[in-house]
Structure 1
């Protein structure tokens, strides 16, 4: 069975190309990274894997956070994490959490400096048969959730303010960090028009020495995270043309933010050679609306996956994707649902044919909506409008506009995106 062309519309494209070190000042970049490294010197690193206590399944995008701080990390496609703990917080406690599972609190001193295996228990919500009857068909439940978009989502155009972060790591070292404040013109779900994004503020740190004269650029930037909204853009994951390539099942019920939720599992059918997705959907019982989705791309067909992601590269370089994980969360307010948060993790192995060792790169992007309001003007300042093919690192210009960023004068990749938002909250509100 051949995949429809629409599958390839996903805009998470990596452009790998020779990069001129003369484009930007290496000295300035080095100084910026020196400041970041100084702020990270007094840390202790802990590694581990988060799994399901019963099935031993590795949990992707499990959240590990240090209590009473804004420091956190998430697990990758192998359920693995690396947490950097400031030495003055080693006496604290971490919380390990995952959608549909019970939170686990652990003293940091109980962690090994080697590998830790952390097991989480499913939080099963026992529902009264009188109050709810579980759907018999998982696919019909998904179709209903998609068909309910006109009823469950605001019919007005919305102006959303969002904070966006993009990180490139070579091995464990940060190579490029970009952050931006954007306005999202969220077009009503009932229309076929695409959302639009306007760049408000941006900045970056790039250490080109760590990139080995190779530039990994995320083409699409904030649009890539926005397209994880599978209610608005179902063609990027599955729709009426691709349902037949998947197996769907209702796995359990749970609670998220005190709301009863169905957990629907999906995976590509056996025997297919083309890459499809697998993961879990969380569907609100009361409104039959998507609450969250956590999914990954099947990377078994490495040649085809590489062709999907690699936009451009030198002839002597082989690039192999090693992970492609996605998460999207929705918020509810006054009886309506809204796109709220996206997180994407991509991994690549870059091999120069005349070199002995490979380089491993990890790209992480996330975007969080901080506020929204009704706005039917539809107007965008042409000079700040982003194209879907925009590479953010090319748009950002160092630490421009220090007045806006204030005392938050370095990008702290180990801190949560919520921490970054809180530090510039006043400036964000001022710009609305």
Structure 2
């Protein structure tokens, strides 16, 4: 089993704060569309809803509060913005109606599935998964392509963010028929941190971007399923609508008696092609003292670490009959306790999170990156970017809108940087 996330814990001193602000001029040919996506049955926000443009390879996703912004070329003025979300009908909205209207509330209608459309709607699902794995070469692109992606990673201590990193990436996406690895390089990035001098340990999030790309389980099925998925039992739970098409819901869990720490979760397969459309899963870390060894590369001997949760999501999108990696997220929570201190009875909870969203995709000028430009699995991204204050930093690039908690954290952390600069 490959490790999806590695954390490096080190004693350290606070680094000196060097402030940086960047700006990319926004072209007059770019339109900025904003809105909020809600479920029509619950009136609640729909996080990670996919936002695309008709016949254009520009996309984004909603944040945890259901908000989105997307920058599109002016040439798309007469096209449709398409929103889709698991279990709801697609919504198509004329782009022209969204201009200069930041308070758009877009409601999606629940989409029932006609069970007569398909024969298999429940039962043992291992054969279905094996068929899906065998069909990967025909369902996914056989040619490499280039992608632009937005990546965010964060560290929370208790309920407070102490580190935020955001980057726009260039991504070389290798063919699904090859053994070549995906590659990424940072185009532009920024960070904000608040590591108190009283904190005796600094968390370094190692390999975040590499692991986010490794979550492409169609490219790297062995990450979760091993060589043949023989350690898991699968069950078909039924059907759900995604992108106005029926999808199998297949739950999986490891067989009893297996000593390794594996996974459990749900797989969503396109019913017609058996393409992996989405996967939501957890690592079975609960109650496992040895789980910390998966995530912690190095730590002081007096530090005790207990992993509370490890949750993952990966999402794909279909374009012209082929499926492409579109989004992934990771969230790992753990408790840290010191055994040699007066306050050793008290534990601190840390949460490490990351997400990557593909915002553009193109097939011309597909080239691998020079070795010194690539992001490696040992890289700590926070050490590769500068501090930020400029709210117009991203220019015309598509990014995931920060939810309210992250927006508040950015204000707080940036405020601290301003005070330290004075």
Does TM, scored on the shorter chain, surpass 0.5?
yes
Equivalent-residue separation in structure 1 for 2:197 and 2:112 (angstroms): 45
Q: How does 1:22-421 map to 2 (within 5 A)?
A: 23-25=15-17, 63=47, 72-73=63-64, 99-100=86-87, 125-128=113-116, 132-134=119-121, 137-209=124-196, 212-241=199-228, 243-353=229-339, 354=341, 355=343, 356-375=345-364, 377-399=366-388, 404-405=393-394, 413-414=402-403
Distance between the aligned counterparts of 2:288 and 2:197, measured in 1?
A: 26
Give the aligned partner of residue 12 of structure 1.
Answer: 5
Separation of aligned partners in 2, 1:12 and 1:215: 17
2:300 is paired with a residue whose SS is coil
Partners of 1:281 and 1:321 lie apart in 2 by: 24
| 1:201 CA displacement | 0.8
Secondary structure of the residue aligned to 2:375 is coil
**Is contact 2:47-2:62 (8 Å) kept?**
no
SS of 2:325 mapped into structure 1: strand
SS of aligned partner of 1:280: strand
The residue that corresponds to 1:46 in the other structure is: none
Two-structure CA RMSD over aligned residues (Å) = 3.6
CA distance change for structure 1 residues 123 and 239 in 2, over 3 Å: closer, same or farther?
farther
Could you say if the C-alpha distance between residues 394 and 170 of structure 1 is closer, same or farther in structure 2, counting changes exceeding 3 Å?
A: same
The Cα shift of 1:271 comes to 2.2
Give the SS at the match of 1:237: helix
Q: Offset at 1:176?
A: 0.1
Gaps of 5+ in 1: 1-6, 30-52, 54-60, 75-96, 104-121, 418-432
Q: Give the direction of change, closer, same or farther, for the CA distance of 1:269–1:162 in structure 2 (3 Å limit).
A: same
Question: Does the CA contact (< 8 Å) of 1:275 and 1:300 recur in 2?
Answer: no
Report if the CA contact (8 A) 2:237-2:249 is conserved: yes
2 CA distance for matches of 1:145 and 1:162? 27
* Cα deviation 1:118-147 (Å, max 9, x = unaligned): xxxx97623215x54448641111121121
- For the 8 Å contact 2:89–2:242, the answer to whether it is kept is no
Q: How many residues align?
A: 335
Q: Which has the higher contact order (CA 8 A, sep 6+)?
A: 2
Farther off after superposition, 222-231 or 211-220: 211-220
Q: Quick check: 2:10–2:299 contact (8 Å CA) kept in 1?
A: yes
In the TM superposition, what is the alpha-carbon distance from 1:10 to its structure 2 partner? 2.1
